[in-house]
Structures are given as C-alpha cells and as structure tokens.
C-alpha cells in the first residue's frame, strides 16, 4: 500500500497529517498483533475518534484544493480505515458504519473481478446484492458520532457497487430461463477445474470427469446451439455456447499442464496458494479461530499482487506477459481468496472476541437441542441434565445480568442473552414433552394393573 509510485504530499500541513496518520496506523498494527489480551471497545473507539479528527483537519486543508492528486496521505488513510473497520468487526460492532468500510472494499474488488472475467452465477450476484442492502440499512441509520466524510464515502461506494451489480445482472437476464441452469452448471464446472488445477497433488481423473460433464452438455446442442423442443434456439444460446467452448478449451489446457507453473511466476503462485489455503482453513474454523483483524494482512498480500498487473496481465521479471494458463491460474487464486475474505466478513458475529467462546458454546448447545427435538425428543428428563448443567453454568457467569471480563462489559451482551434464552426455551419444551411421555406411560401402567 505504500509504494514509491505514490507521491509524498507537497504541503507542510499534509505532511504533518501524514505523520499523525502513520502513528495511528502503527498503533493499530501493534494492537492487532497483541494476542495476550482481547481487543477492548474503548481502545478501538479512541483510535477511531482520533482518525475522524484527522480527517476533519485534512478536509479543511484540502477545502480549496480543486486539483488534488492522490498522495501518500490518501493511502495511509485508507490503511487506517481498513484496520479500524476490521477492529469494529472484532469487537462485535458489525452494524456500525466503520465496520462497513472493509466490506465495501471487498465487495468492490469482487465486482471488479466478476466484470473482468465475465464468469459469474446468479448466486454470486444475489449474495453481493443482499450485502449491499444490509450496508444501505447501516448507512441510513448512521448515528451522529460517525464521520460525515466516512458516511459520504461509503454511500458513494455502495451506489457505485450497485450500478456495477446492475450491469452484471443485465448480462444474465439476456439468457432465457431454461438456459440459466446450464449456464450456472458451466460456471460451477469451470471453478471446479480451476480448483483441481491448484491442488497440491494434481488429479487427472478429477479433471477428466469434469471434462466428461462438459461433453455431455455439448452433446445436448443441435448444430452448435441450445434449442427448445421445436428446434428454435434459446435466447442467449450463443452466450452459453461461448462459455461451453471456453470450458472445453480450459479443460484441455489443464490436463496438458497438470498444475505445473513456470519458474518466472512460481513465487507468486506459491504466495497466492498459501493465502488461499490459510483462508480456506479459517473459513472452516472461523467461529473458533478468527480474529477479523487478521484479514488485513491477507488483503494487503492479495492487493499487492493484484495491483502489480499491467493492463490486466501478470508480467515476469523481463516485462513479458504471462501465458493464458498462468494468467488464469493466478487470477483464480486471487479471486478465490477475496471470496473467502468476503465470506469471513459477512459471517462475523455481533459479539466481541472476548465473549466468542461463550457465544460459540451456546450456538453448539442450540444446534444439539434442535437436533434432539427434530429426532423425536428425549424419553426421560434425565437425558436433559447435561444440557441443563451447561446452560446453568453459563447463566451463572453473569454479574448483574452482564457477562463481564474483568471490569469490562464487552459488546454482544444482547446477542448472547437472546441465544441463552432460546436454549433455555428449547430445553423447557423438551422437558415438558418428556414429562408428558413419562406421565402417559405411568397412566398406562396404572390402567394395566387395574
């Protein structure tokens, strides 16, 4: 993010702001790296308020600058807001305006890549659309203490993303309905081949099977077109046929290259593979192991490689562009990684990391109780004792109705209390059902004895 291509500010006032912004960023990085204690709300809010104050000063300095050129101040400010945003997620304030900053950055990045590749499914767009709708709600209900600069910036970003999304959706709307399922299947096969291509151990049989699926779709065409029962080409047949041909060509290239990357691009491939693999592991264990601020380092690594492209191409040390196979392989890893970051952000729970262990235990208890209920309940109240003991032990952790950590009251009290109440309610329903079952059995015994 700090590259020599980004010029230093010319005015002494902006240079002073740069120094203060750099200090804020360094403090945030130190706070991010400290694993000895959980991140407290007051520490984050203090840095946020300091950042907002610096933005006010910067806006005042630039008020009459009609020809402002982006400089190092803008880049460091971006880093600060990105970090602050992830900190707000970490402390559980996921519905606050600052938390939306990192999410809009990632949504914008994903939309850029979908537009560039031209390969996406309705599911991709639906998820992004839902996220943007949620962000709209956050911005509409923004409280007065948040920076007007930040609210305006995020509103513009959200509007820009919605316009991009609309253009992407128009392309899919050109497909007649019967073709949409075929199109989505082709996207899925293309991604599965790219995944197989980037696995540590290449599997020829896996790619061959996917190629077979493509050939089945190809055989359903008539004279190279997708047609209805009357033999008329569906609207969008040419577009889907083009995608099918791309998939068939890619399957052949993947089978020929077998995951082997030229030495000139090997280091970038290994970095991107490592990032993708780490993010994949986090996506599987995120409830227990993710601190949202960790995503900052992954983003920086990805941004650096993604932004190193020239006219969309990766270049080797001699300035020669990568061949198609390398280009697509590296871009797949970048896009997949951004996708994982997006998933981890939207999965962020509205609970401070200090209370996440309790929250996760309650989530697990709730799932278990629902599973017990759906499988017919329990035959005896005794079977519920382990659940009751665990729920009671969590309930007894509260001090004056609050879950405390030292003298602090971390964010997420409402979410945990609500979850705890749901678990007690489920337990009560199961107990009542078990009591009725036991009483019914007892009544039958009495009737038999008579």
Sign of CA dihedral 116, 117, 119, 124: negative
pLDDT tens, residue by residue, 113-132:
999 999 999 999 999 999 99
C-alpha to C-alpha distance for 225 and 417, rounded to whole angstroms: 58
pLDDT on residue 404: 93
User: Which tokens in the block code for residue 44?
Assistant: 């984050």
Confidence at 440, pLDDT banded by 50, 70, 90? low
Residue with the bigger pLDDT between 285 and 161: it is: 161
* pLDDT at 443 exceeding the cut of 60: no
* pLDDT at 193 exceeding the cut of 70: yes
What's the average model confidence in pLDDT over 61-83? 87
* pLDDT at 1 exceeding the cut of 50: no
pLDDT on residue 35: 87
pLDDT on residue 379: 87
pLDDT tens, residue by residue, 212-270:
999 999 999 999 999 999 999 999 999 999 999 999 999 999 999 999 999 999 999 99
C-alpha to C-alpha distance for 397 and 399, rounded to whole angstroms: 7
* pLDDT at 322 exceeding the cut of 60: yes
* pLDDT at 200 exceeding the cut of 80: yes
* pLDDT at 5 exceeding the cut of 90: no
Percentage above 90 pLDDT, the chain: 82
Quickly tell me which residue has 């599973």 as its tokens: 371
What's the average model confidence in pLDDT over 366-394? 94
What's the average model confidence in pLDDT over 360-364? 94
Q: Compute the mean pLDDT over every residue in the chain, rounded to the nearest whole number.
A: 92
User: Which tokens in the block code for residue 53?
Assistant: 């104050």
Question: Burial level of 335, CB count in 10 A (0-12/13-18/19+)?
Answer: buried
Q: Quote the pTM value.
A: 0.90
In b/e form, how buried is each residue of 40-73, taking b as 16+ CB within 10 angstroms? bbeebbebbebbbebbeebeebeeeeeeeeebbb
Contact 287, 360 (CB under 8 A): yes
First-residue to last-residue Cα distance in the chain: 86
Task: Give the single-character DSSP code of 67.
Answer: T
Give the domain ranges of the chain: 1-93, 177-257, 356-449
pLDDT on residue 6: 81
* pLDDT at 2 exceeding the cut of 50: no
Torsion angles phi and psi, residue 402, rounded to 5 = -120, 145
pLDDT on residue 438: 75
Confidence at 69, pLDDT banded by 50, 70, 90? confident
pLDDT tens, residue by residue, 382-410:
999 999 999 999 999 999 999 998 889 99
C-alpha to C-alpha distance for 402 and 276, rounded to whole angstroms: 39
């Amino acid at each position: 993010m700090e590259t020599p291509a980004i010029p230093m500010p010319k005015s002494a006032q902006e240079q002073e702001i740069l120094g203060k912004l750099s200090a804020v960023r360094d403090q945030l990085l130190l706070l991010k790296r400290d694993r000895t204690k959980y991140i407290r709300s007051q520490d984050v809010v203090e840095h946020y308020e300091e950042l907002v104050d610096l933005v006010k000063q910067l806006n005042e300095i630039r008020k009459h600058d009609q020809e402002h050129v982006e400089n190092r101040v803008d880049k460091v400010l971006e880093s600060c807001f990105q970090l602050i945003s992830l900190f707000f997620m970490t402390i559980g304030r996921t519905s606050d305006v600052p938390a939306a900053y990192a999410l809009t950055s990632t949504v914008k990045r994903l939309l850029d890549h979908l537009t560039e590749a031209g390969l996406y499914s309705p599911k991709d767009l639906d998820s992004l659309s839902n996220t943007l709708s949620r962000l709209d709600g956050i911005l509409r209900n923004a409280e007065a203490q948040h920076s007007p600069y930040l609210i305006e910036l995020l509103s513009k970003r959200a509007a820009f993303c919605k316009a991009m999304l609309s253009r992407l959706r128009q392309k899919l709307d050109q497909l007649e309905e019967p073709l949409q399922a075929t199109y989505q299947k082709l996207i899925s096969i293309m991604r599965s081949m790219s995944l197989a291509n980037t696995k540590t151990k290449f599997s020829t049989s896996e790619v061959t099977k996917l190629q077979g699926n493509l050939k089945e779709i190809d055989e359903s065409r008539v004279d190279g077109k997708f047609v209805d029962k009357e033999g008329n080409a569906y609207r969008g047949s040419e577009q889907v046929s083009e995608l099918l041909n791309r998939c068939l060509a890619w399957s052949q290239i993947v089978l020929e290259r077998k995951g082997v990357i030229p030495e000139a691009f090997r280091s970038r491939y290994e970095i991107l593979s490592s990032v993708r693999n780490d993010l994949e592991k986090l996506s599987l264990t995120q409830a227990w192991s993710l601190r949202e601020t960790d995503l900052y380092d992954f983003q920086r690594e990805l941004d650096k490689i993604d932004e190193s492209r020239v006219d969309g191409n990766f270049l080797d040390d001699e300035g020669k562009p990568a061949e198609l196979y390398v280009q697509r392989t590296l871009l797949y890893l970048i896009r997949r990684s951004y996708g994982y970051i997006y998933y981890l952000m939207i999965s962020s729970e509205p609970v401070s990391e200090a209370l996440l262990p309790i929250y996760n235990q309650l989530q697990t208890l709730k799932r278990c109780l629902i599973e017990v209920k759906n499988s017919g309940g329990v035959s005896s109240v005794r079977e519920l004792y382990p659940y009751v003991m665990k729920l009671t032990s969590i309930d007894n952790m509260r001090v004056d109705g609050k879950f405390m950590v030292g003298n602090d009251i971390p964010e997420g009290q409402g979410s945990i209390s609500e979850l705890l109440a749901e678990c007690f309610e489920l337990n009560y329903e199961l107990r009542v059902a078990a009591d009725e079952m036991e009483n019914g059995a007892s009544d039958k015994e009495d009737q038999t004895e008579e």
